[in-house]
Amino acid sequence: MRINPNFSAFRISSRGMSIQKKKMELITENIANTSTTKTSDGKPYKRKFISVFQEKNKFQDLQANNSLNLNTGFYYNNIKQPMLGSPNNLISEDGIKITEETDQSEGELIYMPDHPDADEEGYVQMPNVSVVTEMVDMISASRSCEANMTAFNAAKQMAKDSLEI
């Protein structure tokens, strides 16, 4: 009997945790730069965020085409595929893509005539970072990371229990 180790649950959970880690790193950078009125380009710091979570999944295409047959398998491009087959058929290798972008909105103008970055009227252009929004995003990313860790541990326990059979 050949055992084909397929740990897609581990891969999915770890990928989710790495995305949330990247999100938390950007949030930390944003919070650290809430007072940075001049960066290397001479402008105030601009908020960074992850803009795209995209999953390329053949299973979604099958659902859209209503070509899923639960009893004997499913048909994709008129070719019969095994129902349980390898989960790699359902999830592409680069399944989730993330893109880091910069928020181009303007920050608040604050009157501080003594500030070195104040304009001729005494106003300083502040970064477009809201600490409250960043903290809410941090809590959300932290909870998502915890959920992925719970799923990872559940998959680990199932794998362990299956070896005891």
Domain boundaries, the chain: 8-53+98-155
Nearest-5° Cα angle at 15, 13 to 20: 95
Identify the weakest region by mean pLDDT among 6-15, 35-44, 148-157.
6-15
Q: How confident is the model at residue 34 (pLDDT cuts 50, 70, 90)?
A: very high
pTM of the model: 0.69
Check residue 145 and give its pLDDT.
Answer: 93
Report helix, strand or coil for 29.
helix
Distance, CA of 88 to CA of 84 (rounded, Å): 11
**Pick the residue with more confidence: 7 or 33?**
33
**Are 72 and 83 contacting, i.e. CB atoms less than 8 angstroms apart?**
yes
**Are 53 and 98 contacting, i.e. CB atoms less than 8 angstroms apart?**
yes
Whether 149 has a pLDDT exceeding 90, the answer reads yes
Going from the C-alpha of 127 to that of each of 22, 99, 102, 130, 142, the distances in angstroms are 21, 21, 12, 9, 24
Whether 31 has a pLDDT exceeding 50, the answer reads yes
